[in-house]
Structure 1
Amino acid sequence: MTIPPANGSARRAIPAGVWALGFVSMLMDISSEMIHALLPLYMTAVLGTSALTVGIIEGIAEATAAVTKVFSGALSDRLGKRKLLAAIGYGLGAASKPIFPLFPSIAWLVAARFIDRVGKGVRGAPRDALVADITPPSVRGAAFGLRQSLDTAGAFAGPLAAIGLMWLTTGHFQTVFWIAVIPAFLSVAVLMLAVREPPRQPGQPAARLPLRRADLARLGRAYWWVVALAGIFTLARFSEAFLILKADAAGLGLMIVPVVLVVMNLAYSLSAYPAGILSDRTDRTTMLAVGLGVLIAADLVLALAPGVGGLLAGVALWGLHMGFSQGLFAALVADTAPAELRGTAFGMFNLVTGGALLLASALAGALWDIAGPQATFLAGAAFALMSLIGLGLARRQITAAAT
């Protein structure tokens, strides 16, 4: 693996387009997390839904995004228009936001989540493939880590804004949801004005639509190992909605429950970029193993440690594991897939992980309703351990393909 430059040089080597895409993600996440930090409690406390219903809704939403990513990724390979598809996806995400304050019912909230996740599905794979296209291989881990850090900065700024606005409005959900509309539309504006797509390489073959078995076979065994490991890993990291429900069960007041997402995303944001740099300098699978170990610790703390202190420690560890895994998985997909099939590769990756998240969130909700929070987080620790064992078995092949 090529040794990248030192940290300051790595920042300078990262293209301006990656920074712009990071700020696009940050603004959209501020909007989304202002809503999502409150949505599980809004559904359970105001609309009277169960934890299982929350899990199923969240799982279906993420699975919808995953299925969409398959087709948007392949389409971006075919057309060579990754920015256009990303803009459509972010536009759908922005358009979904006014539904939350306008139509306060379960049916409309499900529709809004569906539109929002379709938008996420349309933009996700083309955006990640665009990051890979414009970034030199020597700083690829740093680039994905930087984009993830900026994305996650929005993910902790959003809940923090939700806390302040809930206090200022004396718990008025609709007002917070309306204010969340603003950064969503700013996100689309930044994408359109500040991101440029590189020209397609001459003679580069294009993937065909619909997806063919031959195209999927060209992705290679190492890539499919990465996908399989990510699927098992996703079973261990169900929707963060359950962290909010855990905070409610631990006795945090309604207005400060979103602090769990602030803590989680702060740890995530601070760790993702350094983890990406370290993965460029050492070995991505080693860093990923660290992330899986931290997830096991997070689940055990959330299951067994008492009180608010245990909750916050577990949530911080949960965020740390995200920093040591999400950007690294994206970099491994880029490392192991052919350049002309990167959109397809990210799409298939997200299809598998989205399906796993649907199963994980439904299972987490069922365990929560039947046996309580402890069973949910202990099951997550067991799946994380399985993923760590699988990583040990596949490590040599993945590392060889990524060098």
Structure 2
Amino acid sequence: MATPAIPRTVWALGFVSLFMDLSSEIIHGLLPLFLTVTLGASVATVGAIDGIAEASASISKVFSGWLSDRLGRRKPLILLGYGLAALSKPLFPLAGSAATVLGARFADRIAKGLRGAPRDALIADVTPPEIRGRAFGLRQAMDTVGGFGGPLAAVGLMALFANDIRAVFWVAIGPALLCVVLVLIGVEDAPAPEAGERPAPVRLADVQALDRAFWSVTGIGIVFTLARFSEAFLVLRATGKGLPLALAPLVLVAMSLVYGLGAYPAGALADRRPARTLLAWGLVALVAADALLAWGDGLVVVFAGIGLWGAHMALTQGLLGKLVADAAPPRLRGSAFGLFNLASGVAMLMASLVAGLLWDAAGARATFVAGGGFATVALLLLCVRRA
């Protein structure tokens, strides 16, 4: 029997993710330096801003996922999320303080939360179960093309604008606006069920219908996220080892290149191999990355660690989305993705706050040693559960 084709809407969402990540990563690749060098903020402040922003995104994902289930439509919230993200971009070049950057990041991440759960639920809605791993892997891979294209563009723009970070930030607005157009013309909701098949509106109490399989996946996601703090710390580590400020976005280029090349094959492999095996290999890659970043001497070793960080992302991120989709009833998928992202976001807040405080108090090495320790504990727990 022939393998079904990946639906048009999944491809459209992939291109939307590509251009939004292109816009976001032009900014993100330079934001740690903008905060610490231009605005004089501490590394703990960088970690707090990233952690608070990601937690805000996760909280809004709960609301948007539940609302998309209740409405029976995903596209309106997806459009709202990408539209708000585009409107938040001008706040970055206009920022004169860390507080303004926090506000911009807050708006941008709320926008991400509004679109994230409905988008993932829509992918699950329109994709046959036997190719869901490929579908989530494809969207993740295209997202990551933007993820390495954005920092690469930032390097060229820094040269063009003589290291004027604010000027580079202004350019990032264009791809974000293009995303809104692509959602309008390229994304379609899943067909509505027939009148006799239409389920009752989702209520908050229905969350109790999410079974042990879903909560098990959520628990795994929490432990994973505690072991993986913001990529801003990778940028700061590389510049601390001698990478010129103008080339700092190359850190995210390297990470995203490995991530992008690996995401789709990892998703396809997840359709045929046990999920826990891939999750375990992802954790092994993260432990190795933390070891190189903690004790590596020189930029070559640091970039090897950054590449392993990207390999970890490729092996785990699309896979977790597939596991959530498989574990949740179709009418509760939006709510399930929202709850999963809430739990992961709170864990990301804790991880980034602790990482920033450790960096300021004990140095960069302590931050990556702690990350490797959490990853090792997660790997041991995964092996125990498998046994």
Pick the TM interval, shorter chain.
over 0.9
SS in 2 for 1:251: coil
Q: 2:381 aligns with which of 383, 386, 390?
A: 390
1:127 maps to 119
Contact 1:26 1:155 in 2 (8 A): yes
Q: Deviations over 1:187-223 (max 9, x none)?
A: 11111101111123343434534x22xx222111111
- Give me the identity figure in percent: 56
**Is 1:369 aligned to 2:360, yes or no?**
yes
1:63 maps to 55
**Is 1:205 aligned to 2:205, yes or no?**
no
**Residues 289-328 of structure 1: matches in 2 within 5 Å?**
289-328=280-319
Report the Cα offset of residue 237 of structure 1.
0.7
Structure 2: distance between partners of 1:377 and 1:293: 14
1:225 maps to 216
Contact 1:207 1:340 in 2 (8 A): no
Contact 2:79 2:115 in 1 (8 A): yes
**Is 1:19 aligned to 2:25, yes or no?**
no
Structure 2: distance between partners of 1:382 and 1:19: 38
1:160 maps to 152
Report the Cα offset of residue 390 of structure 1.
2.6
Aligned residue type for 2:237: K
Report the Cα offset of residue 284 of structure 1.
1.9
1:184 maps to 176
* Structure 1 unaligned regions, length at least 5: 397-403
Structure 2: distance between partners of 1:190 and 1:357: 30
1:401 maps to none
Query: What's the TM-score once normalised by structure 2's chain length?
Result: 0.97
**Residues 281-296 of structure 1: matches in 2 within 5 Å?**
281-296=272-287
2:250 maps to 259
Q: 1:291 to 1:204 in 2, by over 3 A?
A: farther
Q: Which ranges of 4 or more aligned residues in structure 1 deviate by more than 3 Å?
A: 206-209, 393-396
Structure 1: distance between partners of 2:345 and 2:95: 27
Structure 2: distance between partners of 1:362 and 1:168: 34
SS in 2 for 1:13: coil
Q: 2:39 aligns with which of 26, 34, 47?
A: 47
Contact 1:22 1:150 in 2 (8 A): yes
1:149 maps to 141
Q: 1:141 to 1:53 in 2, by over 3 A?
A: same
Structure 2: distance between partners of 1:295 and 1:204: 44
1:93 maps to 85
Deviates more, 1:385-394 or 1:164-173: 385-394
RMSD after superposition: 1.3
Structure 1: distance between partners of 2:336 and 2:379: 22
Report the Cα offset of residue 62 of structure 1.
0.2
Q: Deviations over 1:300-321 (max 9, x none)?
A: 1111111101110000000010
SS in 2 for 1:281: coil
Aligned residue type for 1:372: G
Contact 1:152 1:266 in 2 (8 A): yes
Contact 2:202 2:332 in 1 (8 A): no
Q: 1:276 aligns with which of 267, 274, 286?
A: 267
Q: Deviations over 1:92-132 (max 9, x none)?
A: 11100011112332222111111101100000000000000
**Is 1:338 aligned to 2:332, yes or no?**
no
SS in 2 for 1:44: helix
* Structure 2 unaligned regions, length at least 5: none
**Is 1:329 aligned to 2:312, yes or no?**
no
SS in 1 for 2:189: coil
Aligned residue type for 1:338: P
Structure 2: distance between partners of 1:147 and 1:395: 29
Aligned residue type for 1:188: V
Q: 1:37 aligns with which of 8, 29, 42?
A: 29
2:351 maps to 360
Structure 2: distance between partners of 1:220 and 1:49: 44
SS in 2 for 1:325: helix
1:196 maps to 188
Contact 1:206 1:340 in 2 (8 A): no
Report the Cα offset of residue 382 of structure 1.
1.2
Query: What's the TM-score once normalised by structure 1's chain length?
Result: 0.93
1:380 maps to 371
Structure 1: distance between partners of 2:159 and 2:200: 52
SS in 2 for 1:324: helix
Q: 2:68 aligns with which of 64, 73, 76?
A: 76
